[in-house]
């Protein structure tokens, strides 16, 4: 049995100590991104004696298992005068050199930093430890008696370089490495014992339910995709059980030694809970499986403010001195590292709950969390994905339709001119250099603003002066943050620094998948935006960090649209899972005589739509949600319904407010639960694409009908028109990409609230004549093939007939 750990993770895990302190290293995420550029710059500047990115592996044998320690040395410098040596990385461990020249070998470890390198008194201990590991591995592979280490620090902004040099004897490194591995053996021994127990349990694990129709085939597709290291796009209607149907085969593959860790990633908290429940269900069937649910820092923090510095937070002070004991405690007493378990352990050991949660992911077999832990360029889990070595990870992406817009958001950037002016006024009396550079950026933005009437596309030449000014500003802000930890304006500078860093990061990614534009807002505000129109490349690069990715949703139509924008390749698979529901328990009605088109909006149209709602709800007492394209439209219909049709003794109405906090949302949904089997009809008036049109689970009589007004088209705006123009220019239907497909997805999500279990019976009514056009009919899912066309004069009788069949 093998246990794998990277050199970096090994030294950072075993040798860490001290406090969490966010007052230092203001831009670690950006430094990680820029580090690649710095590495390549330095490596290219070296001569023929410099061998870059040398992969090294050492196998530490124990009586029961092997520990594989591996990583990439940034550089190995071979110069004449020293021990006999082969080219880097050869021969394999244990082999004797046959020939070669006498050389001196130096292991080079490169670190990009925003710190002032002239103020550094010594190398960072964990950086030195990382280089010493590479030196030991390379030395024993090549029979070296002496080896040198060089720590190369490069300031990312100025590109100035500072070196720290060390020299080691073979015995000195061997003793040091033996002590390091001795400290790690406790953890490796636990992992060995756990792996044996886990694999045996997976071998005997069976599917926790009788297979529904098509479910076994779906699980087989998932397993085969993981085996063949591909991506699979699954359109899985509600009720298929897509969570268990993807997790179970992933766990079985895991048990066969296929896959190193399972990541279940989603956009919403509720679906993370469903995944956690599915794993717990398999545990009750005998599965031994450790899982962690990653929770956002601001939600899990014990302090009133999320301020990670030892002077404010007692959990940050000395955190790294106590964290490994906390990890071992939780690791040995629980298999489910959910929020409650993590918080309890963090309080007992007085450590940061968020950092504890992240550390538990190192030992978890399954990691459940938000998309950003894989895809966000700042928040992704660097402990797994920043070593440059592709892991044998399995990615399960739930509600994958959300990843298109989330991907665009994560890989886009925007800066507002007004924010430069605000910060300029704030820092004037504290830092004149910063003040002047903010003004320089503002002047460049003013030049761009004068060239923009509504929105404009500046070319590289137009953008260059602003980017240069912004780069200088970033360096100055970094220096200020480094030197002024107690400044009264530090928080303002820090917040804007992160925005600037993100913008510069995205600017380095600009290619044919981006549109850079400036925009003049209606209130006079002016911004410059780097818009990731097609996120496929960025998402694909993230998914390449693992072995296989399974992307699934109840609304992934048209599947080729999502496959293209989510980074699918020609050799990847797609499948449409069969619905398990009796089609007779659901009826889809499409109205051909009303619409939400702007050109048709009038009191008469509002009256007709309100009349539809009245006719539908009058046929059976129960709970309904009516979805509208906007709050404005919702209010028009609500007022018309109340004035013409509402019987307050029989019908209660609930309105989704424009801004609802968590308690208000919970109270809204609780009304549907309370009204189940009640004596009155409950009508919820909600916005299509809003918080109640996706991710809520109202089973059985908690919801018996969804009435959807309009086709869900996003409002026309500059961003949507830019999307449309981008895809039109590439021979695609820009209207489909920018408007129709996103709108139809919202419709399908809203409709999916009705039928949640095999026992549910309900109706879906589409109130817009446009649904009868072929361009929309071809987007209907298979289970809508038997839709009924209707009119205001017919709808009452048709709905009544449907309910009479089931009552």
Q: Domain locations in the chain?
A: 2-187, 204-287+366-408+535-580, 295-360, 413-532, 583-804
33 SS3 class? helix
Tokens of 134: 């590479």
Convert the pLDDT of each residue in 52-90 to its tens digit: 889 999 999 999 999 999 999 999 998 865 554 444 544
Convert the pLDDT of each residue in 608-620 to its tens digit: 999 999 999 999 9
pLDDT of residue 94: 37
* Cα(260)–Cα(275) distance, integer angstroms: 19
Do residues 302 and 315 make contact, with C-beta atoms less than 8 angstroms apart? yes
Do residues 303 and 312 make contact, with C-beta atoms less than 8 angstroms apart? yes
Do residues 391 and 261 make contact, with C-beta atoms less than 8 angstroms apart? yes
pLDDT over 70 at 32, yes or no: no
Convert the pLDDT of each residue in 291-347 to its tens digit: 999 999 999 999 999 888 899 999 999 999 999 999 999 999 999 999 999 999 999
List, in sequence order, every beta strand (DSSP E) within 134-186: 146-155, 161-169
Q: What percent of the chain has pLDDT over 90?
A: 72
Instruction: Point out the least confidently predicted range of 16-30, 142-156, 251-265, 465-479.
Output: 16-30
CATH 1.10.3470 correct for 2-187: no
Q: Which helix (H) or strand (E) holds 623?
A: strand 623-628
Domain spanning 583-804: CATH superfamily? P-loop containing nucleotide triphosphate hydrolases (3.40.50.300)
pLDDT of residue 527: 97
Average pLDDT (708-723) is 96
The domains spanning 204-287+366-408+535-580 and 583-804 adopt the same CATH topology: yes
413-532: CATH number: 1.10.275.40
Convert the pLDDT of each residue in 199-246 to its tens digit: 999 999 999 999 888 889 999 999 999 999 999 999 988 778 899 999
- Helix-then-strand count for the chain, H and E: 28, 25
Instruction: Point out the least confidently predicted range of 252-261, 294-303, 580-589.
Output: 580-589
Contacts by 783-787, CB closer than 8 A, 24 or more apart = 783/237, 783/579, 783/581, 783/583, 783/586, 784/588, 786/583, 786/588, 787/588, 787/589, 787/590
Average pLDDT across the chain, whole number: 90
Do residues 518 and 452 make contact, with C-beta atoms less than 8 angstroms apart? yes
Structure pTM?
Answer: 0.88
Tokens of 352: 């940061």
DSSP state of 335: S
204-287+366-408+535-580: CATH number: 3.40.50.300
* Cα(227)–Cα(220) distance, integer angstroms: 10
- HEC states along 414-471? EEEHHHHHHHHHHHCCCCHHHHHHHHHHHHHHHHHHHCCCCEECCCHHHHHHHHHHHH
pLDDT over 50 at 23, yes or no: yes
The CB-side HSE value for 253 (13 A sphere, CA atoms) comes to 29
Question: How would you class 648 by CB atoms within 10 Å of its CB: exposed for 0-12, middle for 13-18, buried for 19 or more?
Answer: exposed
The total of other beta-carbon atoms located within 10 Å of residue 578's CB is 17
pLDDT of residue 120: 86
Give the closest residue to 186 by CA, choosing from 372, 76, 328: 328
What is the secondary structure of 257-325 as a DSSP string? T--SEEEEEESSHHHHHHHHHHHHHHHHTT----EEE---HHHH-SSSS----TTT-TTTTTHHHHHHH
Do residues 164 and 122 make contact, with C-beta atoms less than 8 angstroms apart? yes
DSSP state of 487: -
Convert the pLDDT of each residue in 386-431 to its tens digit: 755 678 999 999 999 999 999 999 999 999 999 999 999 999 999 9
Cα angle at 695 between 589 and 658, to 5 degrees? Answer: 85
Select the more confidently predicted residue: 381 or 289.
Answer: 289
Question: How would you class 421 by CB atoms within 10 Å of its CB: exposed for 0-12, middle for 13-18, buried for 19 or more?
Answer: middle
Average pLDDT (551-559) is 94
């Amino acid at each position: 049995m093998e246990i794998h750990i990277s050199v970096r993770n090994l030294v950072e895990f075993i040798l860490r100590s001290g406090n969490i302190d966010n007052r230092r290293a203001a831009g670690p995420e950006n430094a990680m991104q820029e580090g690649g550029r710095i590495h390549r710059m330095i490596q290219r500047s070296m001569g023929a004696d410099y061998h870059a990115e040398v992969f090294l592996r050492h196998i530490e044998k124990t009586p029961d298992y092997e520990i594989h320690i591996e990583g990439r040395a940034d550089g190995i410098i071979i110069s004449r005068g020293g021990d006999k040596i082969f080219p880097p990385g050869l021969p394999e461990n244990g082999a004797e050199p046959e020939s070669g020249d006498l050389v001196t070998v130096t292991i080079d470890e490169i670190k990009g930093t925003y710190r002032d390198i002239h103020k550094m008194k010594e190398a960072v201990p964990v950086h030195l430890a990382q280089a010493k590991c590479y030196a030991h591995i390379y030395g024993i592979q090549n029979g070296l008696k002496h080896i040198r280490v060089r720590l190369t620090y490069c300031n990312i902004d100025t590109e100035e370089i500072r070196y720290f040099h060390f020299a080691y004897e073979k015995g000195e490194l061997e003793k040091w490495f033996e002590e390091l591995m001795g400290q790690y053996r406790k953890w490796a021994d636990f992992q060995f014992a756990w792996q044996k127990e886990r694999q045996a349990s997976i071998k005997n694990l069976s599917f926790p339910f009788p297979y529904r129709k098509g479910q076994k085939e779906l699980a087989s597709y998932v397993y085969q995709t993981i085996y063949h290291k591909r991506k699979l796009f699954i359109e899985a209607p509600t009720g298929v059980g897509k969570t268990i149907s993807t997790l179970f085969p992933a766990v079985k593959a895991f048990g066969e030694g296929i896959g190193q860790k399972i990541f279940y990633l989603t956009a919403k908290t509720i679906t993370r809970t469903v995944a956690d429940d599915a794993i717990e269900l398999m545990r009750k069937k005998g599965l031994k499986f450790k899982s962690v649910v990653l929770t956002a820092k601001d939600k899990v923090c014990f302090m009133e403010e999320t301020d990670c510095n030892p002077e404010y937070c007692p959990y940050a002070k000395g955190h790294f001195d106590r964290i490994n004991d906390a990890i071992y405690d939780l690791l040995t007493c629980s298999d489910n590292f959910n929020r409650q378990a993590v918080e309890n352990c963090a309080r007992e050991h007085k450590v940061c709950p968020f950092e504890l949660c992240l550390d538990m992911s190192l030992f978890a077999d399954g990691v459940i969390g938000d998309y950003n832990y894989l895809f966000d360029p700042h928040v992704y889990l660097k402990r797994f994905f920043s070593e440059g070595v592709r892991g044998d990870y399995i990615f399960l992406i739930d509600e994958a339709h959300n990843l298109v817009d989330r991907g665009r958001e994560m890989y886009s950037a925007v800066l507002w001119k007004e924010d430069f002016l605000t910060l300029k006024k704030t820092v004037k009396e504290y830092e004149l250099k910063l003040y002047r550079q903010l003004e320089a950026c503002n002047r460049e933005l003013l030049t761009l603003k004068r060239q923009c009437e509504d929105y404009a596309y500046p070319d590289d030449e137009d953008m260059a002066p602003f980017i240069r000014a912004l780069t200088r500003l970033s360096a100055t802000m970094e220096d200020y943050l480094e030197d002024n930890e107690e400044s009264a304006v530090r928080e303002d500078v820090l917040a804007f620094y992160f925005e600037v860093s993100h913008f510069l990061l995205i600017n380095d990614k600009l290619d044919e998948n981006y549109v850079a534009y400036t925009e003049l807002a209606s209130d006079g505000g002016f911004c410059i935006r780097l818009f990731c129109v097609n996120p496929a490349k960025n998402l694909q690069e993230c998914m390449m960090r693992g072995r296989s990715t399974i992307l699934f949703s109840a609304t992934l139509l048209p599947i080729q649209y999502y496959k293209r924008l989510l980074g699918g390749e020609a050799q990847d698979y797609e499948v449409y899972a069969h619905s398990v529901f009796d089609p007779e328990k659901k009826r889809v009605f499409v109205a051909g005589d009303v619409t939400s088109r702007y050109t048709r909006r009038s009191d008469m149209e509002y009256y007709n739509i309100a009349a539809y709602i009245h006719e539908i709800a009058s046929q059976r007492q129960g709970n309904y949600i009516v979805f509208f394209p906007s709050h404005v439209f919702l209010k028009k219909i609500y007022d018309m319904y109340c004035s013409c049709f509402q019987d307050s003794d029989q019908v209660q109405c609930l309105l989704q407010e424009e801004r609802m906090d968590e308690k208000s949302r919970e109270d809204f949904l609780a009304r549907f639960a309370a009204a189940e089997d009640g004596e009155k009809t409950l009508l919820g008036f909600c916005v299509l694409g809003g918080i109640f049109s996706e991710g809520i689970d109202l089973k059985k009589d908690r919801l018996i009908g969804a009435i959807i007004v309009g086709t869900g088209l996003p409002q026309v705006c500059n961003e949507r028109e830019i999307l449309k123009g981008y895809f039109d220019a590439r021979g695609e239907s820009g209207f489909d990409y920018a408007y129709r497909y996103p709108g139809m997805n919202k419709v399908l999500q809203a409709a999916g609230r009705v039928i949640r279990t095999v026992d549910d019976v309900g109706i879906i009514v589409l109130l817009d004549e446009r649904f009868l056009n072929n361009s929309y009919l071809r987007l209907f899912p298979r289970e809508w093939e038997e839709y009924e066309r209707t009119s205001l004069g017919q709808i009452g009788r048709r709905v009544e007939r449907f309910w009479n069949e089931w009552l």
